[in-house]
Amino acid sequence: VDFSNLDNVKKINNFEKVQLGSADQAVSIKFSPNGIFDIVDSRNTRDASNSAASESVNTVLKVIGDSKDLVQLTHDFVKATKADITTLNNKHSVVGDTYNKVDVTSDGDAVNQVYKATFNRQETINGRLIPSTHTVFIEIQDGVQVDLL
């Protein structure tokens, strides 16, 4: 399944979790930052400091699978740092959201694989094209294969 193709993504929205098949299936799926932005509840929020640096999409796309599954990430995804994850989870605490927090250990390290991508796109607001920058996060179950393309 290729979620990096925006024509496919326009038909799918408000997803927060994707299950990659059953135990006896090997599933391959591809995501772009734009695709994730269009799939999730793409409302940007900030943490309690209200700093622009803390702004990101309010939903983490969570991908559940096993070692037979493959997630391909296109367009400059990078492994999220511990600081990125702490900031993201703190922001979710401010807005009262616990479901979309990234799962962490007692030391604050991510339990699963977490990636982020920051990207620019044009959006139509009040009939005008406005350039905008967004950051999206994806949490992929530990053990699932990940290719950064």
Q: Report percent pLDDT > 90 for the chain.
A: 37
pLDDT tens per residue across span 29-49: 999 998 888 887 666 666 667
The pTM of the full predicted model, rounded to 2 decimals, is 0.80
pLDDT tens per residue across span 45-59: 666 677 776 665 656
Nearest to 57 by CA among 138, 148, 111: 138
pLDDT tens per residue across span 67-125: 999 999 998 899 999 998 988 887 766 555 666 788 899 998 999 999 999 888 888 87
